[in-house]
Amino acid sequence: MIELEKVEGVALSRWSWLAVMANIRSVMATSSFLFRFLFLLLTISDLFEQNHGLNFGINYGQIANNLPSPSRVALLIKSLNVSRIKLYDADPNVLSAFSNSNVEFIIGLGNEYLQSMRDPSKAQSWIQQHVQPYISQTKITCINVGNEVFDKNDSQLTMNLLPAMQSVYNALVNLGLAQQVTVTTAHSFNILSNSFPPSSGTFRQDLIQYIQPLLNFHSQIKSPFLINAYPFFAYKDKPDQISLNYVLFQPNPGYTDPNTNLHYDNMLYAQIDAVYAAIKALGHTDIEVRISETGWPSKGDPDEVGATPENAEIYNSNLLRRIEQKQGTPANPSVPIDIFVFALFNEDLKPGPVSERNYGLYYPDGNPVYNIGLQGYLPEMVIESKSNALSDNFLIFTFTCLVLAWELSRS
């Protein structure tokens, strides 16, 4: 009786196996795309283990016509162990590709939306369309409303910024998302009229009427003040006055702030503390400053002094080393610097000087522009053809058989 049950069990398993294989062949013949998609999802799901990534963020810009697909970028980011990404929009393809990835996202709401975002119903509709469908699977932690608005010399944009931020925040509150998602905006370093010495940092006088209520809002909702800081710009403009070693975090004498006796050995920390000083001058010591962009171009126009792959490698590798050490600035030594590196890829369609298209750590094909010690891997892109389709189907068939065999062995 026992032997018969075993034989019957084997026969039943074989019958089930043959039936399943027949179904697989039928479905593959008509829906190979779905199987390839399923295989991709299974692969990504397996790769995206829950872990603590490197404590820095990276800007993922997409002003280019040759970038890899978001699903491939997701695997690159995983291999780099990067834990935070900043977008300049709310691309649904990117947010979907990073589902269940444990990567935190700052998503962007462009300057062109500021006027319409003043309308509470439109702000709520935007969140319902761009945040709610993804937030259960993708960690959206912040909405960056506008980018470098005060640097645009556009009075309408300037006046719309704070009302738009308030409207977006109120919509998050109404939808029960304000505890998960905060609201901020990123500023150009040019909003400061003075940054030297750091303790004398001040905002431009013409902007104070807008920045003061903005700071009050940050304080109220406990959101960070974002600044885009590029020591490269300062060096490029005055290479005969500014030490290259000072801007590249290389050994140098540095300088001491005469007002505080604090010593600075690099320009970025001095810039951060200058922003803190400017905020304090307007009555706030309860707002954290974070760097939403910093980087160094690997190529530039003839007049863009210092834009070389060697300098870019030194700047970013030294910066990442300091981030890893959880360093604070001289004025805030207990607050580790919080930085988003610019940028993940070179973007070939960005306007402006050559440097604008050469800030990436990676070329679009996944090769590093220079070596800063990150071991990243961009999977090869599959180009559809009959032979590729046959190969894909074989891989999917083999994978499915292995999974099925494992499941049957457990029963």
Q: Which residue has the tokens 């990150």?
A: 374
Q: Which residues contact 253 (CB under 8 A, 6 or more apart)?
A: none
Catalytic annotation, pick one of 5, 49, 148, 347 = 148
- The 3-class secondary structure across 20-49, one letter per residue, is HHHHHHHHHHHHHHHHHHHHHHHHHHHHCC
Q: Which residue has the tokens 């490269």?
A: 232
Catalytic residue status for 8:
no
Catalytic residue status for 293:
yes
Contact 60, 94 (CB under 8 A): yes
| CA separation, residue 407 to residues 226, 400, 402, 404 (Å) | 50, 11, 9, 5
Catalytic annotation, pick one of 5, 112, 293, 384 = 293
- How many residues can be counted in the chain? 411
**Position 344: which residue type?**
L
d(CA 153, CA 22): 66
Can you list the alpha helix ranges (DSSP code H) found in 48-140?
70-80, 92-97, 114-117, 120-130
Would you please indicate which residues are annotated as catalytic (active-site) residues?
148, 293
